[in-house]
Amino acid sequence: IAGTYGAFGGTDGIGAAARFAGPRGIWGDSNHLYISDTFTVRRLEIATNDVVTIAGLFPSASIVDGIGSAARFRDVLGITGDSSYLWVSDSGICMRRIHKTTMNVTTVAGSMIVGDYGDSDGNGLYARFNGIQGLTNSTDYVYACDASNSAIRRISKSTNDVSFFVGNSSITGNQDGILLSILSGPSG
């Protein structure tokens, strides 16, 4: 429905005229698909297959908050959303939020410094991740697969508090359980 095999880039366009740098995640509502595309976040209108970049700039790689093309992403991986916001994981170390109307991009959890990873819970920028990839959300939380920490992490939409939800960064493997679940590199 969009893009052309073998044609790399960040060009907006309808259907085959659009170019992608490396789509990694997709989330949709009734009218649009939102695509995490390495350096950018893109929106595809389902009725027309029109692809537009809503945040970031191809091929600029950095972690900078801003509005629309003034924002920068280093490596957008997972994506999820609701009626007001999109959440994307960037470089495996931080969670970014995009207002769907204003396209304002804000880092809400984790570190904006490349290589500053870890496994600590905390509020917003005090929390640390190590490989967040796949995302989903509920009314109150965003859930993130934190692959290198072998855990599912939970981020409060209202307070940006981050906590381990399932798994433990010091134990890897496969074990079901209520009190101690063990995961091995969840990714999405």
pLDDT in tens, 31-89: 999 999 999 999 999 999 999 999 999 999 999 999 999 999 999 999 999 999 999 99
- Angle (CA) 5-72-1 rounded to 5° is 25
Binning pLDDT at 50, 70 and 90, where does residue 181 land?
very low
Q: How far is CA 118 from CA 57, 129, 131, 167, 174, in A?
A: 28, 5, 9, 15, 21
Residue with the bigger pLDDT between 185 and 89: it is 89
Binning pLDDT at 50, 70 and 90, where does residue 182 land?
very low
How many other C-beta atoms are found inside a 10 Å radius of the C-beta of residue 136? 16
Q: How far is CA 2 from CA 18, 33, 34, 169, in A?
A: 6, 11, 12, 38
Note the pTM of the prediction, 2 decimals: 0.88
